[in-house]
Amino acid sequence: MWGAIAALVASAALQQINTSMAASRQQKATREAMKRQRDYQMRAEKIAMDNAQEYRTDTREKKQDEIADELTQTYFRPVEAAQTEHAAASRTQGDVSQDYLNAKSASDSRQMNSAKELATLLGRKNSANRLRQYEAIDMADNASEIARLNDYANRMYNVDSYAIKAAGQGNPFLQIGSEVLGGYGGVMLGNELDKLVKDSVKSAGGVATK
């Protein structure tokens, strides 16, 4: 009988171990899945926060100033090159008065200053539109990136859900071992009880005969 009881105890112990191990695996898989989802969320939040940071007044003013300077140089550079080439081609041959040279230099300087002022005005005027274009492109890129992260997160959620479910399943070998021991112990215990009952009946019958 003690062998049967030992088998039943061992069966229950294996079942408990199997259940505990499955629960531990499932908890670990759940924690890892939650961490991955949180990572995706934090990355999306960072993109959104960085994008919002770009719309601060001081940030936009700084970016617009940089764009204005860039556009000014773009507008002025061809004029400057053309003026320099024109000045070199139109040099007067022979002796000329210093007054003429001074007047020509002053005229060239005024033209360059006027071109510079015009380029600056155009650069400042068009910088606002250019800034909005850049912001629209950045916003579209950020929205696309957030959507991509959301898609990854959804796909990973489906994979993790399956993994969590699988992790909660018991070890089939331990389950079989528990069932075998339980069955063996049950049979042995049944046999022992039958034997005790028969012995008791025989014993009771013998006493009654006397």
Q: What is the pLDDT of residues 29-48, one digit of tens each?
A: 888 889 989 998 999 989 88
* pLDDT at residue number 103: 73
**Mean pLDDT calculated for residue range 203-209:** 53
Answer yes or no: are the C-beta atoms of 34 and 176 closer than 8 Å: no
Answer yes or no: are the C-beta atoms of 146 and 44 closer than 8 Å: yes
CA nearest to 87, candidates 64, 115, 62: 115
- How far from the centroid of its chain's Cα atoms is residue 63's Cα? 28
- Structure-token match 């957030």, residue found: 146
Instruction: For residue 191, count other CB atoms closer than 10 A to its CB.
Output: 12
Look at residue 200 and tell me whether its pLDDT is greater than 50.
yes
Look at residue 208 and tell me whether its pLDDT is greater than 80.
no
Q: What is the pLDDT of residues 106-115, one digit of tens each?
A: 777 787 888 8
Q: Kindly provide the b/e burial profile for residues 60-74, where b requires at least 16 CB atoms within 10 angstroms of the residue's own CB.
A: eeebbeebbeebbee
Look at residue 207 and tell me whether its pLDDT is greater than 50.
no
Answer yes or no: are the C-beta atoms of 154 and 27 closer than 8 Å: no
Q: Which two tokens stand for residue 35?
A: 């961490």
Q: What pTM value is reported for the model?
A: 0.56
H helices within the chain, ranges in order?
A: 2-53, 57-89, 98-167, 172-209
pLDDT level of residue 10 (50, 70, 90 thresholds): low
Q: What average pLDDT is seen over the chain? A: 76
* pLDDT at residue number 39: 92
- How far from the centroid of its chain's Cα atoms is residue 93's Cα? 71
Rounded CA-CA distance 204/210 in Å is 10
